[in-house]
Amino acid sequence: MKHAAHYEIILPYLKRVKNPHDRETPYGAPFLTLGWKSPIKWRQSVESMAYYFRREMHFDFPPYTATETDFSTDLHRDRVLVLYKTAILDDFVKVYYFIGAIGVRWREWTDAVPS
Protein backbone atom coordinates (compact mmCIF):
# COMPACT_ATOMS: atom_id res chain seq x y z
CA MET A 1 0.00 0.00 0.00
CA LYS A 2 1.44 3.36 -1.02
CA HIS A 3 1.13 6.21 1.49
CA ALA A 4 0.68 9.85 0.59
CA ALA A 5 3.49 12.20 1.51
CA HIS A 6 2.77 14.46 4.45
CA TYR A 7 3.85 18.06 4.35
CA GLU A 8 4.11 20.62 7.09
CA ILE A 9 2.72 24.08 6.40
CA ILE A 10 3.99 26.79 8.72
CA LEU A 11 1.99 30.01 9.02
CA PRO A 12 4.12 32.55 10.88
CA TYR A 13 2.87 35.31 13.14
CA LEU A 14 3.37 38.65 11.41
CA LYS A 15 3.31 41.90 13.35
CA ARG A 16 0.97 44.62 12.20
CA VAL A 17 3.15 47.33 10.71
CA LYS A 18 2.56 50.17 8.26
CA ASN A 19 1.65 48.91 4.79
CA PRO A 20 1.64 51.63 2.09
CA HIS A 21 -0.86 49.60 0.05
CA ASP A 22 -3.56 49.69 2.76
CA ARG A 23 -5.22 52.62 0.99
CA GLU A 24 -5.88 50.27 -1.97
CA THR A 25 -7.97 47.92 0.16
CA PRO A 26 -11.71 48.75 0.36
CA TYR A 27 -12.92 49.50 3.89
CA GLY A 28 -14.13 46.33 5.62
CA ALA A 29 -12.61 43.99 3.03
CA PRO A 30 -11.68 40.52 4.32
CA PHE A 31 -8.20 40.79 2.85
CA LEU A 32 -5.02 42.89 2.89
CA THR A 33 -3.48 44.30 -0.29
CA LEU A 34 0.24 43.71 -0.75
CA GLY A 35 2.42 45.32 -3.37
CA TRP A 36 6.03 46.21 -4.02
CA LYS A 37 6.13 48.66 -1.08
CA SER A 38 4.65 46.24 1.48
CA PRO A 39 6.82 45.00 4.37
CA ILE A 40 9.36 42.43 3.19
CA LYS A 41 8.39 39.97 5.96
CA TRP A 42 4.80 40.00 4.66
CA ARG A 43 5.95 39.45 1.08
CA GLN A 44 8.25 36.62 2.20
CA SER A 45 5.33 34.95 3.99
CA VAL A 46 3.28 35.06 0.78
CA GLU A 47 6.27 33.68 -1.12
CA SER A 48 6.34 30.72 1.31
CA MET A 49 2.69 30.05 0.49
CA ALA A 50 3.56 30.24 -3.22
CA TYR A 51 6.14 27.49 -2.72
CA TYR A 52 3.55 25.35 -0.89
CA PHE A 53 1.19 25.93 -3.81
CA ARG A 54 3.93 24.98 -6.31
CA ARG A 55 4.61 21.75 -4.43
CA GLU A 56 0.96 20.77 -4.09
CA MET A 57 0.00 21.63 -7.69
CA HIS A 58 3.24 20.28 -9.23
CA PHE A 59 4.15 23.60 -10.87
CA ASP A 60 7.64 24.22 -12.24
CA PHE A 61 8.05 27.49 -10.34
CA PRO A 62 6.22 29.42 -7.58
CA PRO A 63 3.59 31.91 -8.82
CA TYR A 64 5.00 34.72 -6.63
CA THR A 65 8.32 35.84 -5.19
CA ALA A 66 8.93 38.49 -2.53
CA THR A 67 11.36 40.38 -4.73
CA GLU A 68 8.99 41.12 -7.62
CA THR A 69 9.76 44.83 -7.88
CA ASP A 70 11.51 45.13 -11.24
CA PHE A 71 10.71 48.59 -12.66
CA SER A 72 11.80 47.59 -16.16
CA THR A 73 8.55 45.59 -16.34
CA ASP A 74 5.07 46.10 -14.92
CA LEU A 75 5.75 43.90 -11.86
CA HIS A 76 5.46 46.92 -9.57
CA ARG A 77 1.79 47.15 -10.63
CA ASP A 78 0.99 43.59 -9.51
CA ARG A 79 -0.86 43.05 -6.23
CA VAL A 80 -1.52 40.17 -3.87
CA LEU A 81 -4.77 39.98 -1.91
CA VAL A 82 -3.99 38.17 1.33
CA LEU A 83 -6.59 36.34 3.39
CA TYR A 84 -5.70 36.53 7.07
CA LYS A 85 -6.70 35.86 10.65
CA THR A 86 -5.79 38.10 13.56
CA ALA A 87 -4.57 37.09 17.00
CA ILE A 88 -3.43 38.83 20.18
CA LEU A 89 -0.26 37.43 21.71
CA ASP A 90 0.40 37.26 25.45
CA ASP A 91 2.16 40.63 25.45
CA PHE A 92 -0.90 42.25 23.79
CA VAL A 93 0.71 42.51 20.37
CA LYS A 94 -1.72 42.26 17.46
CA VAL A 95 -0.46 39.85 14.82
CA TYR A 96 -1.68 38.33 11.57
CA TYR A 97 -1.68 34.81 10.21
CA PHE A 98 -1.68 34.81 6.43
CA ILE A 99 -3.84 31.84 5.42
CA GLY A 100 -4.25 32.36 1.68
CA ALA A 101 -3.28 34.62 -1.20
CA ILE A 102 -4.64 35.65 -4.58
CA GLY A 103 -2.28 37.11 -7.16
CA VAL A 104 -3.52 39.96 -9.37
CA ARG A 105 -1.27 40.62 -12.36
CA TRP A 106 -1.14 43.77 -14.52
CA ARG A 107 -1.65 43.03 -18.22
CA GLU A 108 -1.15 45.08 -21.38
CA TRP A 109 -3.78 43.90 -23.88
CA THR A 110 -3.66 44.36 -27.65
CA ASP A 111 -7.43 44.77 -27.99
CA ALA A 112 -8.38 46.45 -24.69
CA VAL A 113 -7.12 49.03 -22.23
CA PRO A 114 -4.38 47.89 -19.80
CA SER A 115 -5.74 46.46 -16.58
Between residues 93 and 61, which one has the greater pLDDT?
Answer: 61
Determine the pLDDT at residue 74: 63
Single out the residue of 102, 35, 98, 97 nearest to residue 66, CA to CA: 35
36, 13 contact by CB (below 8 A): no
51, 64 contact by CB (below 8 A): no
Give residue 71's pLDDT band: very low, low, confident or very high (50, 70, 90). Answer: low
Determine the pLDDT at residue 45: 93
47, 64 contact by CB (below 8 A): yes
67, 61 contact by CB (below 8 A): no
Half-sphere exposure of 55 (CA within 13 A, CB side): 11
**Position 72 pLDDT exceeds 70:** no
Integer-rounded Cα Rg, in Å, for the chain is 16
Mean pLDDT (whole number) for 40-47: 93
**Position 5 pLDDT exceeds 80:** no
Helical spans, DSSP H, in 1-113: 40-57
